Structure formats: structure tokens, C-alpha cells
Amino acid sequence: MNGAARPPLVSVRGLSKSFGDHLVFSDVDFDVPAGSVTAIIGPSGSGKSTMLRCLNRLEEPDTGEVVIAGTVYPAGRKPVDAARTLHADVGMVFQSFNLFPHLTALENVALALRRVRRLSRGEAAERARAGLAEVGLADRAGHRPSQLSGGQQQRVAIARALALEPRVLLLDEPTSALDPELRAEVLQVLRRLAGSGITMLVVTHEMRFAEQVAGDVLVMAEGRVIEHAPPARLFSAPQHERTRQFLKVVR
């Protein structure tokens, strides 16, 4: 669904980020509508990961602000209270899963619930079990990451992020580390999630997924968001030459 008519859950205003004298992006503005999926695409090195990391403050932006569910997080200031609401509001799924290798699937999900949500051991385990069932892994709760396929590991990471009930879920190339035959199971989970009304911002090279699931697609290149449109328009009639070049390579 095109998100244009929906109120934004996340607003990015005038956001800039450099590493030393390398400008990654400058003065970026966009909105992520509540309850829809926004896909970020663009060439390698265009700042897609840095953008997500600036949204959850794994990186500190240089200028601008991020507004999440009405709370303003300005660049360059990290009040402790704000950091806490940000942590609770924004979930993250990484390309490389980032599970604790010495913990079981259940323990990986439960640990987040105990640490962030302060749940008791029993309550955390119960919710973790339910979360694993939702991603089709009820029977893998006792397995360690090394005993799971990449697709299963990523589904555990998704369950872990969702268990914290974030307002917005950020996903950074969630299927890029997976063999093609394992991508489908993760994309299927994401498709189902998208239909559930959660707000997602996903960096992806899966153009078909973006086309079918995203309400809006952002193209990052040349230190900016060069294009922002519903997929039907973006893929059929890209406005920017750089977008056309990129789509020719990835599709």
C-alpha cells in the first residue's frame, strides 16, 4: 500500500553523516508511514547501513533530527532518557544475525526480554517460546546458532527483535548472507509481518520483495535520497539516471 496518506511514524529531517572527511549523506529528509514497509535500495557504499545505524543511534548523525512516534532525537545529543525510549521503540535485524553463539535460540530471545523488558526468567522464556513459534521455530528452541541453518538463525534474530515489541523494525539486508534457497523462508516471514501492520524500514537487494511488499521505495546514491516513490512507479518509470543504472544492474 502506498504510504502517502498515512501519518509518519518515523521522520528524518536534515540528517547528515560524515566519517572524517568522507561525507556519507547530507541533508536527508524522508518519512516512514505508520504500518507500512519502506524499502531502501541503492549501490554498495551509498550509506544505507549508516542511515539505519543513525536511526537507532549505533552511529551518531552530525546534523538534523530523527522523530520517532513523536519523540525528537536531535543529532549530537544523547540524553539518557531518550536513549532508553529509542532502544525500546526501534528494533534491528542485521545481515549477519548477531546471535549469541553460546546461547540457545530460546535463550537468545529470552535474554533480550529480561535485559530490556526486565521480565522474570519464566515470563521471558514463555514469551520467547511464543515468539519462536511465530517464525516457525517452535521445535528449534533448544538449538544453538551453530546447529541452525542461516535462514533459521535469521528467523531467531527476527523473533528476538519482535519480542521487544518495537514501534519500528529496521532490517539491514536481512537475506544477503543467505544462500538463495534459504532466502525464501526469511522473505516469507517478512511478508507475513508486513501484512500484520508493523512498521518496517528494510535495506534490501531483493527487488521483487520491494516491489511486492513495500509501500514506498527510497533510492540512496550520491550522498542523498535521489528518489522516493511507490514501487509501481519507481520500478516502471524511474526519474533519475542513477536509479536507471542501478536497476539495470540488480534486476
Summarize as ranges the residues that interact with ligand ADP (CB under 6 A): 19, 24, 42, 44-50
Q: How many residues does the chain have?
A: 251
HSE-CB of 130 using CA atoms within 13 angstroms: 9
Helix (H, G, I), strand (E, B) or coil at 47: coil
Q: Which is nearer to ligand ADP, 7 or 45 (CB)?
A: 45
Interaction partner, residue 100 (ligand ADP, Mg ion, none; CB < 5-8 Å by kind): none
Q: Quote the strand ranges of the chain, DSSP E.
A: 8-19, 22-33, 37-41, 63-68, 71-74, 90-93, 168-172, 199-203, 216-221, 224-229
Pairwise CA distance, residues 136 & 155, whole Å: 8
Q: Which is nearer to ligand ADP, 45 or 195 (CB)?
A: 45
**What stretch of H or E contains 152?**
helix 150-163
- We find the least distance from the C-beta atom of residue 95 to Mg ion, in angstroms, to be 7
- We find the least distance from the C-beta atom of residue 194 to Mg ion, in angstroms, to be 21
Interaction partner, residue 19 (ligand ADP, Mg ion, none; CB < 5-8 Å by kind): ligand ADP
Q: Which is nearer to Mg ion, 140 or 224 (CB)?
A: 224
Query: Which three cell numbers mark 118?
Result: 526486565
| Residue closest to Mg ion when measured from CB atoms | 49
- We find the least distance from the C-beta atom of residue 19 to ligand ADP, in angstroms, to be 3
> Is residue 49 a contact point for Mg ion (CB under 5 A)?
yes
